[in-house]
Amino acid sequence: NAGVTQTPKFQVLKTGQSMTLQCAQDMNHEYMSWYRQDPGMGLRLIHYSVGAGITDQGEVPNGYNVSRSTTEDFPLRLLSAAPSQTSVYFCASSYAGADYGYTFGSGTRLTVV
């Protein structure tokens, strides 16, 4: 098993550009989520999905879109990048929900200039 795979590992965007962060898992986990990590602020939930076709907002959803067409993939789209979206982004998956441990991807370090 590869676990949770995120691409790219690093990305630099100009303000206003759009891009998609990719996340895939091969563990047949129903639950997937996206977090952003900023210094001193821990991990904040952006969006999550409880299964294919079902997504919902987390704590900080503005400026981001998600979709879940398959169990394996959960891409995060930045619609119009802003410097405030400079962060490290982690995708995570869980076997059965928020009361089980997460497996995290290796992260994407995004810089918006």
Partner 1 sequence: GENVEQHPSTLSVQEGDSAVIKCTYSDSASNYFPWYKQELGKRPQLIIDIRSNVGEKKDQRIAVTLNKTAKHFSLHITETQPEDSAVYFCAASPPSGTYKYIFGTGTRLKVLA
Cα 24 to Cα 26: distance, rounded to the nearest angstrom: 7
Site string for partner 1, 49-88 (x = CB under 8 A): -x-----x-xx-----------------------------
CB of 113 to partner 1, least distance (A): 22
Residues of 35-68 as b/e, b for ≥16 C-beta within 10 angstroms?
bbeeeeeebebbbbbbebeebeebebbeebebbb
Q: Pick from 41, 62, 80, 111: which binds partner 1 (CB under 8 A)?
A: 41
CA dihedral 26, 27, 31, 33 (to 10 degrees): -50
Q: Pick from 48, 64, 74, 89: which binds partner 1 (CB under 8 A)?
A: 48
Nearest one of 14, 15, 21, 6 to 67, comparing CA atoms: 21
- Residue among 81 and 110 whose Cβ is closer to partner 1: 110
8 binds partner 1 (CB under 8 A): no
User: Which residues bind to partner 1, rule: CB under 8 A?
Assistant: 31, 33, 35, 40-45, 48, 50, 56, 58-59, 90, 97-107
